[in-house]
Structure 1
Amino acid sequence: MDAPPFGTDYMRDMSQPDVFDRALLRRRQARAARLGPEPFLLERAAEDLADRLATVKRRFDKAVDLGTPTDALSRALAGHPGIGTLFTAAPLPEGLAGRAPAVVADEEALPFGNGALDLVVSALSLQLVNDLPGTFAQVRRALRPDGLFLAAFIGGASLSELREAFTVAETETTGGLSPRVAPFADVRDLGGLLQRAGFALPVTDVDRVVVRYSSPFGLMSDLRRMGAGNVLLERRRTPLRRATLLRAAEVYAERFSDPDGRVRATFEIVWLSGWAPDESQQKPLRPGSAKMRLADALNTRELGPDTAGDQGTS
């Protein structure tokens, strides 16, 4: 079996402020693994990623599943005819159990050599990276020319109901607000970051998933088993008041319940893909190189600057 394509560790720009407590995140994920993780959202993303990859008629000899918290993506891609060896890289040994070949690696400091990989995939992990531009740049450098990066992120509109319920509850019970739901990036931000990292042919799209629960506490239990508790560095360090929690549940039920009494929770999954540049890829035409006028293509009359203002006059 091939060895993992290791390279030089990346040195992060420490001038960038951190948003997430990565050490706490690892503890929360380890606890979720012990409790038995709630897999429905991750399995949906993994199956969707496998379907998207199936439309790419390419051979990827060396691929990496980067940071996916469970083996959902590895299972979804097992036996994929276009993948040779699929390595797994995740920050916790617990997340690598049963997945081989595998390496313990943080998403913010990838150990892969330049041009060592043909494919990097990731499901619902990279939204909690502090230095996302740096991670994208590392993925770009690790890919060979015409290599593919395909990933799913939790998007910025996720859990808007929970955010609103806690905003109201904290304002009423404590007289102030504390950060509770992570400021996830939106689809336009991620598309711009792909271009900034040097990816060619970047594509982004959004999938919104609405899940229904018997009560807001069911949602909170699932988030705990996803390892998705509050890991913001600016979070309030005092324990959550019981009065605040109960009021948040009341507000949630009042504003976001269906006629049958069940409550809704919205998850936004942002998809992105980009290719390491290669001469074989399609290139945009140079300005002025078109062989047909737009007016001719549209079968209409072209108006000059002197006549444009005369439209609609008699």
Structure 2
Amino acid sequence: MSSGVCLRVLRAAGSPPAASSGSWSRVRLPADPRHAPRRGLSASGRGGTMNVFNREMKKKQKEWAASLRDGDQFDYLRDEVGGRVADRVYDIVRTFPLALDIGGGKSHIAGHLSKVQSAPVTYENSDLQKQSRRSEIPTHRLLADEEFLPFKENTFDLVVSSLSLHWINDLPGALRQIQQVLKPDGVFIGAMVGGETLYELRCSLQLAETEREGGFSPHVSPYTAVTDLGNLLGRAGFSMLTVDVDDVQVNYPGIIEVMTDLQGMGESNCAWNRKSLLHRDTILAAEAIYKEMYGNEDGSIPATFEILYMIGWKPHESQAKPAKRGSANVSFGDLSKISQPTNTNTS
């Protein structure tokens, strides 16, 4: 499987494909000066864009994870969240002839949206068990950048994304582009990691590093807070917004297994201000702190992944709109004057 960000175009059955079903189309975008690595506040974009993540480092991390021979054992979280995103697609009573899956990977969403061939898989270091899925939806894959979508406006009926957008520097810009490539009355359904993710690991490492080294550096990447997500979607031009939070907790034997699985997922820290080396004494101290503060009775330790789910629609004249301010003909004060029916005993 090729590495890098995968933009997967999904065509519903009966829709005319742009190429043969299941084919691969690799599109290399022309060099763009905005892709050059920069730290801190970038001059590009409206009002400047925060450049928190080293995107080149994240690309290398994903390439390494994709090259693992036994990489499927690290897919449990993506499969779980992909299934929950698919459930939200099923909640909408509508067909979507053309859809875009940003960061599609190994059909973590599409595998739940069509007939699939399944085989049981047990994931090491995890209490999650899922089915290995292979989607039958005709797809066309493009290697591109989530921050620079290579599609025309008003192209897709549906855009989905699962566990990809949290590594974007210009999240407001990416959401605006998603809104633009949707057709009017199209819908975006996504999931991304939230700010409380891996709080157990973050706290344990900070306490251990402060004790052993006299200070701490960030070892877990910063993520978007749920309180900001609705505002970002609104600013991007979406309407009829829905945002909800779900915690997925996975139990591991120890802190080494937590960090090993994060590497295997391609989810290691890639912030510019990350510290590349953890001393052995610090890791041992963090292990003890982790088990003391958060450990389970059986000796395992929990790792919590806060998942933010979002749904936003591109505005269309057919959509329900709130009434104009001042147009109500009944006040809340009048409700108190409504008499309640009384029960009468006819016996």
TM-score range, shorter chain: 0.7 to 0.9
Query: 2:258 is matched with which residue?
Result: 219
Query: 1:72 is matched with which residue?
Result: 108
Write the letter of the residue equivalent to 1:29: K
Is 2:232 aligned against 1:193? Answer: yes
TM-score by length of 2: 0.76
8 Å Cα contact 1:69-1:125 kept in structure 2: no
Q: Alignment length, in residue pairs? A: 281
Cα RMSD (Å) of the superposition?
A: 2.3
Distance 1:61 1:187 in 2: 31
Distance 2:184 2:226 in 1: 25
Once the two structures are TM-superposed, the CA of residue 296 in structure 1 deviates from its matched residue by 2.5
Superposition pairs of residues 262-281 of structure 1, within 5 angstroms:
262-281=300-319
8 Å Cα contact 1:145-1:276 kept in structure 2: yes
Q: 2:61 aligns with which of 13, 28, 31?
A: 28
8 Å Cα contact 1:11-1:109 kept in structure 2: no
Write the letter of the residue equivalent to 1:249: E
Query: 1:3 is matched with which residue?
Result: 18
- Shift of the 199–224 alpha-carbon distance from structure 1 to 2, 3 Å rule, reads same
Once the two structures are TM-superposed, the CA of residue 174 in structure 1 deviates from its matched residue by 1.3
Query: 2:279 is matched with which residue?
Result: 241
Once the two structures are TM-superposed, the CA of residue 11 in structure 1 deviates from its matched residue by 8.9
Structure 1 counterpart SS, 2:51: coil
Query: 1:47 is matched with which residue?
Result: 83
Moved more, 211-220 or 263-272: 211-220
Q: Structure 1, residues 236-261: CA drift from partner, whole Å, max 9, x if none?
A: 24x22111111111111111112222
8 Å Cα contact 1:191-1:204 kept in structure 2: yes
Q: 1:112 aligns with which of 151, 159, 165?
A: 151
Q: Structure 1, residues 251-301: CA drift from partner, whole Å, max 9, x if none?
A: 111111122221111111100010010000010111111122212335479
Runs of 4+ residues deviating >4 angstroms? 8-12, 298-301
Distance 1:48 1:204 in 2: 14
Write the letter of the residue equivalent to 1:33: A
Q: Structure 1, residues 131-152: CA drift from partner, whole Å, max 9, x if none?
A: 0001001001111100100000
Query: 1:60 is matched with which residue?
Result: 96
- Shift of the 172–144 alpha-carbon distance from structure 1 to 2, 3 Å rule, reads same
Query: 1:260 is matched with which residue?
Result: 298
Distance 1:11 1:145 in 2: 31
Is 2:285 aligned against 1:285? Answer: no
How many percent of aligned residue pairs carry the same amino acid?
40
TM-score by length of 1: 0.84
Structure 1: stretches of 5+ with no match in the other structure: 81-97, 302-314
Once the two structures are TM-superposed, the CA of residue 103 in structure 1 deviates from its matched residue by 0.9
Once the two structures are TM-superposed, the CA of residue 182 in structure 1 deviates from its matched residue by 1.2
Structure 1 counterpart SS, 2:50: coil
8 Å Cα contact 1:137-1:197 kept in structure 2: yes
Structure 1 counterpart SS, 2:229: helix
Write the letter of the residue equivalent to 1:2: P
